[in-house]
Structure 1
């Protein structure tokens, strides 16, 4: 008797079986009959291809470990199949998810019964020598697993629909009401399967989910799985080879624990202390390090010691209070300074090598203490209600359901204030991008103004509590907001209401707030160091420093322009020569638009036509909000900007854009469980929306 199959290790290879599972276990069983001893090598190869792609798919790990995988050995007889089911405890299996994949020859009998054919089957004694497919399906469906998915890929698999409909009512009503139970078949009741078509379609779906689909959840819905699979079907194949859902005891649109998402990319946890809205696909890490690519492990921002020291001082001490308004012109690095405080205060991320190196190189008094930032919120393109719930969640609260006539923001801010009153220690809230949010005045009036009670120095609070020094801790607010850079000292002249910016409005809300700018003269040196760091890898340090010294005065006060210039120069064999080149200097003086124009011209050498790249970037700018999803949306929008010229390979062009020199001009985010892309800065969006980037005479 052959021994049962084995458990898969994390790499996807089948090994030995362990226990039959606990409440969190996820298991994939593969029952594949590949060799019928008839010399059909193509069939055997096709079945093995199916097993390989299924194994790869369910090896995907996300928030949980990858599926434990158990493949049946080479089964010859009905008894051996039953022994396998018994030995692996499929009928009594517990756990979060159980997936059963069945493939091999199938047979639809005249009794409307579907059989899995085995090498030792006798077509004249099918009842005793083959296996009723519905019995295998029932073993999984009536197990103790919380979620079950069975996929049957055999000829005439749709035949089991009627059998299952009758059998399914015999599963307890409690189980049917509590568990997600699904059965998919790959062809109709009267259709054979092409043994190699299923793995081809599944591989294509696997690839789309890892690239174009951009679904950011760890699990797929049944709708998403079936849609991506069927995208590869030709019109004439749809009836015979599409997926049929013959048992649908789960939501069609909700994420299903039985369907791991191959495209899920866990964002490194940089908010171990519960920071709200910090995991926007590495937003805080990108801004803190100054990196230009997602997979870059460097930390390029240095300097700004006085400003960082001020922030670290404000964040220190459980009872401290205060408001810091961090402001500056577009691209001058406000977010970078705030993000540094967010990242370096997180106790989990502080253990990462890149973070340790940054802390070791910085003066000790410029590094905020561990857990000194409680909540970090990016307000860009968010409403007052979203900002309020982010802060509330970060403070450990749960948003109450407002009444029909209640203002939700007022209700949730009242909860925030109650938490702050009863909290035994101080709290620090970082709010970035206030100038880019959807409802800035509501955020100031309904959220920030009520927090004044907790953030103003105690001597400014009317009728201070007698136990104020020993009572609840105060609130530290760090707010990032853009403002124009004054050409000279305004000499105390008060701006009228029409001329006032957000900084002046916030100063009226928080009279004791400290205002720090990120675009003063002292930042020229910081920009120079940043450019040199970007150029540095593989370049003589002296040459990198010399090139940076040439570029920094022209890029100042924009770290965005410095980033783009540094990215261009780091690929040059002679960065100093390029930095001093009159034509390149002309583009540099044009700021963001000049540098982007040059990269648009050069990207054609990477196989991405300039006009196609321009159209894709313009589409991302016009998308507004958090950005444009890849899937089918980005290509369709870009085609509008291409005019009559048709582009057939948009997915290939987007892949080149995201992997080439233009990737640094984009940032990505999550919206409606999809990854979306937009220009990395509003200055880039403005230049792209203007549409005249390629009108000027330029040279690469």
Structure 2
């Protein structure tokens, strides 16, 4: 099965623990001239470098080797020889050089306390000798950072020396060299440590880069963000050797903002990635905050029992549509099946909680789902490629004259024909796809060949006259799609222009079964969900029962409104007392809009102005794709929404993500960045509506 908990596949290779990573710090701290500020500045540099390269990216972290006290050239040569730098192997080697730099007529030197003026050839060290010792080692990837005065002078020297490194190594390894100033500029030693620390903090928080390692340009751009326009010529980083290019992350730069995600495997034991990020686990648990350890969804037994039966080994073919009105828990039901069927999650304490809460016949068989994909904001070609990857296949390249959708679907069909076992695919959020109609007609409709039930399994004779071939394996499709809730049985068929995606799917798959998530029984499920949310941690049990009974009939059939209401009530001293308040009841009757209005007022107590919080939420609603990245984009879009500039947008976003408003957001990954969007499309639509007066404070309780 595809991995169902986040972007794993592309990061897996970077997390191997069988390759050495080494950080060498060659720093000259004390020149015996009484300059305590210089020594303190060098120590500050070493502190931030040590912290950065100890970031917990992988099990095999960087082995850090600081140089001993260096006073003369012999000490430097002893250091290189003792640690066999020129013969060093491993996946990554980082060399950080800092101290006084000396610019000769054509050569740059690292000055030492015992260096003699006018005799740098014999008493100092040529900086390029240190650089090439690392570059021409046997390490697969090398990064050298030189922070000395006049370091830009190295550029002319290194160009000629690089040509003497064998072509095979230059072409197959990532070899990069950065210097911290131009050829004619000195270094302000404490300024560099401040700038490097700033880049470290931004990459740890606001940059939102999701890969375990960074590109060199990521480091350079975040470093430069800390510079004023007047300082850019003085303190910016310069790349004098470019061996990894613009697009490739290098194992030499760990990402301090990387969050290791849980590894999950499918029935075939392979790790898979998914564009849905944490979608499945978030939806399955019903949690309101990222990293919340609870499992809150309850009930839905008949619906879960039907899905488990559909996924049983006795069935090899079929289509099951899980449908319902907006926010009625379709994704939660599908995600529960995806997560609980994944063998990698079965031993997880979080899933054990869910299994303990569930009747055995409501739990899908282990490994019963081959792959799960999210259709939200995906085009037809993108979704077809996602399905191929879920099947463990790599999409073929297509010529410019070929239709990528047609070619991908043909590859899917060929893959299914070659399978000896039944295949099960989960597709969620089809109603939110960018090319919904083409997905239904050109991607899904051809799959009916494998989904339609066979009246009898007749052996198929082989063209070569050999033994009869076994019948083709089947395909089970489990699809989540929104539809309006009928108030009664329709007396006439809907006109074509009134048919939504659910009706279109039933036309394509005439034998499809349907399960709704918004029937009358779901009110009890919402009450149980609310009770579990409010009682998180074991408190409020009696008060929670009363509060859930008051709220469930009002928010039904919307689990999204229940989640938001539960998030508000769980933080109250007496949830039932709050739920009984007439003002809160009026707010609740306004659904998501009323709940959000109340929370926009309450977050002001956390130092987050209501109008700023609203601007940030609206910016996330207008973002395309999977969501909005933090970095510089979220602040810029929010500035437009607010109509004014703030000096501390990053602080405001931090407060938003730590506040009760975090429950209104979902997170995902796109283009190697962590992105944010409203937790449900109905909420996004409401936030995009310019006619809503969100800052009407009359609804606050």
The TM-score by the shorter chain falls in which range?
Answer: over 0.9
- Give 1:361's aligned residue: 357
- Give 1:174's aligned residue: 168
**Which of residues 312, 317, 322 in structure 1 aligns to 2:318?**
322
Matched, 1:68 2:67: no
- Indicate the larger mover: 169-178 or 281-290: 169-178
**Which of residues 135, 146, 170 in structure 2 aligns to 1:141?**
135
- Indicate the larger mover: 355-364 or 278-287: 278-287
- The CA RMSD measured in Å over matched residues stands at 2.1
Mapped partners of 2:507, 2:589: distance in 1: 37
CA contact (8 A) 1:61 1:67 kept: no
CA contact (8 A) 2:534 2:544 kept: yes
CA contact (8 A) 1:214 1:630 kept: yes
Distance 1:199 1:410, change over 3 A: same
Mapped partners of 2:649, 2:17: distance in 1: 45
- Give 1:433's aligned residue: 429
**Which of residues 199, 202, 206 in structure 2 aligns to 1:208?**
202
Matched, 1:130 2:130: no
Per-residue deviation, residues 312-360 of structure 1 (Å, max 9, x unmatched)? 1111217621110000000000000000011111111222110111112
Aligned partner of residue 599 in structure 1, secondary structure:
helix
- Indicate the larger mover: 616-625 or 596-605: 616-625
Distance 1:393 1:330, change over 3 A: same
Mapped partners of 2:544, 2:386: distance in 1: 42
- What is the CA-CA distance between 1:472 and the residue it aligns to? 4.3
Per-residue deviation, residues 374-422 of structure 1 (Å, max 9, x unmatched)? 1101000001111111111111222122244332222221221222222
Q: Which has the bigger relative contact order, CA under 8 A and spacing at least 6?
A: 2
Mapped partners of 2:630, 2:197: distance in 1: 19
Mapped partners of 1:438, 1:290: distance in 2: 26
Per-residue deviation, residues 612-656 of structure 1 (Å, max 9, x unmatched)? 11111111112233222222222222122223x442211111111
Mapped partners of 1:472, 1:68: distance in 2: 54
Distance 1:22 1:113, change over 3 A: farther
Matched, 1:379 2:378: no
- Give 1:228's aligned residue: 222
- Give 1:612's aligned residue: 612
Matched, 1:47 2:42: yes
Matched, 1:161 2:155: yes
Mapped partners of 2:231, 2:638: distance in 1: 30
CA contact (8 A) 1:308 1:366 kept: yes
TM, length-normalised to structure 2: 0.93
- Give 2:687's aligned residue: 688
Per-residue deviation, residues 125-153 of structure 1 (Å, max 9, x unmatched)? 33322211111111001111222111111
Per-residue deviation, residues 409-450 of structure 1 (Å, max 9, x unmatched)? 222212212222221111110000010001111111112111
- Indicate the larger mover: 502-511 or 55-64: 55-64
Residue pairs, 1:263-278, within 5 angstroms: 263-273=257-267, 278=274
CA contact (8 A) 1:50 1:199 kept: yes
Structure 2 gaps of 5+ residues are: 1-15, 462-466
Distance 1:694 1:63, change over 3 A: same
- Give 2:632's aligned residue: 632
Matched, 1:191 2:185: yes
CA contact (8 A) 2:459 2:470 kept: no
Mapped partners of 2:510, 2:371: distance in 1: 23
**Which of residues 431, 434, 442 in structure 2 aligns to 1:446?**
442
- What is the CA-CA distance between 1:66 and the residue it aligns to? 2.2
- Give 2:336's aligned residue: 340
TM, length-normalised to structure 1: 0.93
Distance 1:350 1:99, change over 3 A: same
- Give 1:669's aligned residue: 668
Mapped partners of 1:396, 1:535: distance in 2: 41
- Indicate the larger mover: 364-373 or 175-184: 175-184
Per-residue deviation, residues 224-259 of structure 1 (Å, max 9, x unmatched)? 211111111223322222111122233134322222
Mapped partners of 1:88, 1:279: distance in 2: 43
- Give 1:27's aligned residue: 22
CA contact (8 A) 2:17 2:60 kept: no
Mapped partners of 2:271, 2:73: distance in 1: 56
- Indicate the larger mover: 244-253 or 152-161: 244-253
CA contact (8 A) 2:275 2:669 kept: no
Per-residue deviation, residues 647-696 of structure 1 (Å, max 9, x unmatched)? 22111111111111101101122222222211111111121111313264
Mapped partners of 2:584, 2:593: distance in 1: 12
Per-residue deviation, residues 569-604 of structure 1 (Å, max 9, x unmatched)? 011011110001000000001111110111011111
**Which of residues 78, 86, 91 in structure 2 aligns to 1:83?**
78
- Give 1:547's aligned residue: 547
- Give 1:11's aligned residue: none
Give the length in aligned residue pairs: 676
Per-residue deviation, residues 499-537 of structure 1 (Å, max 9, x unmatched)? 222222211221221100000011111100111111113
Matched, 1:654 2:653: yes
Mapped partners of 2:196, 2:53: distance in 1: 12
Mapped partners of 1:619, 1:236: distance in 2: 31
- Give 2:522's aligned residue: 523
- Indicate the larger mover: 283-292 or 543-552: 543-552
**Which of residues 94, 99, 106 in structure 2 aligns to 1:104?**
99
- What is the CA-CA distance between 1:165 and the residue it aligns to? 2.1
CA contact (8 A) 1:345 1:371 kept: yes
Distance 1:22 1:397, change over 3 A: closer
- Indicate the larger mover: 282-291 or 272-281: 272-281
CA contact (8 A) 1:374 1:394 kept: yes
**Which of residues 249, 252, 258 in structure 1 aligns to 2:252?**
258
Mapped partners of 2:618, 2:243: distance in 1: 44
Residue pairs, 1:409-488, within 5 angstroms: 409-459=405-455, 465=460, 471-488=471-488
Per-residue deviation, residues 62-91 of structure 1 (Å, max 9, x unmatched)? 356322221112223221211111121111
Mapped partners of 1:276, 1:82: distance in 2: 47
Aligned partner of residue 458 in structure 1, secondary structure:
coil
Matched, 1:594 2:594: yes
- Indicate the larger mover: 328-337 or 545-554: 545-554
Distance 1:693 1:681, change over 3 A: farther
Distance 1:106 1:419, change over 3 A: same
Matched, 1:699 2:700: yes
CA contact (8 A) 2:97 2:146 kept: yes
CA contact (8 A) 2:600 2:695 kept: no
CA contact (8 A) 1:327 1:334 kept: yes
- What is the CA-CA distance between 1:277 and the residue it aligns to? 5.4
CA contact (8 A) 1:267 1:279 kept: no
CA contact (8 A) 1:425 1:472 kept: no
CA contact (8 A) 2:275 2:670 kept: no
CA contact (8 A) 1:276 1:377 kept: no
Mapped partners of 1:526, 1:135: distance in 2: 70
Matched, 1:623 2:619: no
